[in-house]
Structure 1
């Protein structure tokens, strides 16, 4: 699995988080929606399917754009104040929800790289459960950072930039390292099992 494939799925959400602010969230939503279309249309043309992450982004950012067009400023104030928190919660729910229903969102990207014969193997399933849980945890952390800044007056530089960026970098590194580690571990365990003498009949 290429780490870039998964990371690209998060680009619209990252764009929104970086650009969104009290007076810019509408433009951030539009930019994120355009990014979502750019990323999902090629997949749809090629296979008539898109990832759950892209689908959620298309719906979420399209709804935000429509709300920005049809509602007045006073009605939109709660969204303006909590735009980044809302997006972090939505993406965390999508990621962890896909894990809860047994369809980790990372499988969509993994299947582009892995041959079909491994899609139902325990190692493939394990890798995608771990990576989906990892990325879901990253955005839960981001949501908690947004809460810390918005409701408890924590440092915006630390909680809106340093911690989220470090968390994403760590997740990218683990996404790159863990699949090969899991495969090596599975091969080692298989070799160990093969080398064990057969059980003697009683």
Structure 2
């Protein structure tokens, strides 16, 4: 579940944005840069840090915009925009046939499996689950924000948007391994 570390900036943004969206964006940017630098210094390959890199780009742009236009109507849709960005990132990696989960999976999978069609397929399916969850969660959060349902409903959508694909990511490879008779 190492990949969950990359979501810390997004969680910080959601939590701190209650004080001000520009401060939430700045906190997320600082945390994102720190995580990215720390991971690279620890020897993590760049292809395992696609979401972290995307996170830094997003929060750099959002921080600049939020401080430049602090009363923008977009501030009410910060959660939806965040999930939309994650969806674009995930779908983009699928479009170029390099699912963002490949580099992450290589950190815990023996090298002899990296170039197998099954490995690519498992990561394509997992990345598709994340991309779909990000897109659906972004839409649900936008609906909650537009309907002013309150922080509890919006937060609930966001939590589900992370938990469902995380559970799937944990279970799906084990199901495929059992089906293929692979033991580790």
Give the TM-score taking structure 1 as reference length.
0.79
Query: Given the superposition, is the C-alpha separation of residues 24 and 154 from structure 1 closer, same or farther in structure 2, using an over 3 Å criterion?
Result: closer
Deviation, structure 1 residue 47: 4.8
2:126 is matched with: 131
Q: Deviations over 1:51-93 (max 9, x none)?
A: 2111111111112222344x2445xx13323222211111111
Give the number of aligned pairs.
180
Aligned mates of 1:167, 1:86 — CA distance in 2: 14
2:54 is matched with: 56
- For 1:1-202, what aligned pairs fall within 5 Å after superposition? 4-21=1-18, 24-45=20-41, 46-47=43-44, 49=46, 51-69=49-67, 71-74=68-71, 77-151=72-146, 153=147, 155-157=149-151, 159-187=153-181
Query: Given the superposition, is the C-alpha separation of residues 180 and 96 from structure 1 closer, same or farther in structure 2, using an over 3 Å criterion?
Result: same
Aligned mates of 1:67, 1:148 — CA distance in 2: 23
Give the aligned CA root-mean-square deviation in angstroms.
2.2
Aligned mates of 2:151, 2:29 — CA distance in 1: 26
Query: Given the superposition, is the C-alpha separation of residues 48 and 179 from structure 1 closer, same or farther in structure 2, using an over 3 Å criterion?
Result: closer
Unaligned runs of 5+ in 2: none
1:192 is matched with: none
Aligned mates of 1:57, 1:109 — CA distance in 2: 16
